[in-house]
Copies of this chain bind each other. A is one copy, B any other.
């Protein structure tokens, strides 16, 4: 299911809209795009060889989200197939910023439903105190 879009170098992950994702407005509830984006980040990390559960066992740390900026452009409905694009827009020692967006194919044309920027930082799991992103993770983000 993993695809890397050659044109844009985005990591692309498919997500199907189920009943649980929709609300009485007949559309995907706005908070659920943050779930979709988190799933896509997890799969992007896995694609880079990073398993978060194992990483925590090894390092005692984990990623947490520190800021999000989202723009909702169009609505998704039940049974829609979305593609979540993920790309690093900034990688620092203390945090990463990811550009993510949700797309749907409408009659052969890709339309953007939602786009956002997600800032994630690294913390010690026990204390939740900020720390440096492990170099084993950083080194995988930008191959030499």
> In the complex the two chains form, what is the Cα distance from A51 to B79 in whole Å?
7
A71 touches B (CB below 8 Å): yes
A20 & B24 in contact (Cβ 8 Å cutoff): no
Contacts of A68 in B (CB 8 A): 30, 68-70
Dominant SS among interface residues on chain A: mixed
Contact A23 B22, CB 8 Å, known A72-B65, A78-B52, A128-B75: yes
Looking at A24, A29, A32, A78, the one whose CB has the most chain B CB atoms below 10 A away is A24
A34 & B30 in contact (Cβ 8 Å cutoff): yes
Smallest distance from the beta carbon of A73 to chain B beta carbons, Å? Answer: 8
Interface string of A16-46 (1 = CB under 8 A from B): 1011101111110111101100110011001
Contact A38 B20, CB 8 Å, known A52-B78, A79-B51, A79-B53: yes
Interface string of A39-77 (1 = CB under 8 A from B): 100110010000111100000001011111111100101
Q: Which residues of A contact B (CB under 8 A)?
A: 1, 16, 18-20, 22-27, 29-32, 34-35, 38-39, 42-43, 46, 51-54, 62, 64-72, 75, 77-79, 125, 128
6 further contact pairs, Cβ within 8 A, besides A19-B38, A24-B53: A1-B1, A20-B35, A22-B23, A23-B24, A30-B38, A75-B128
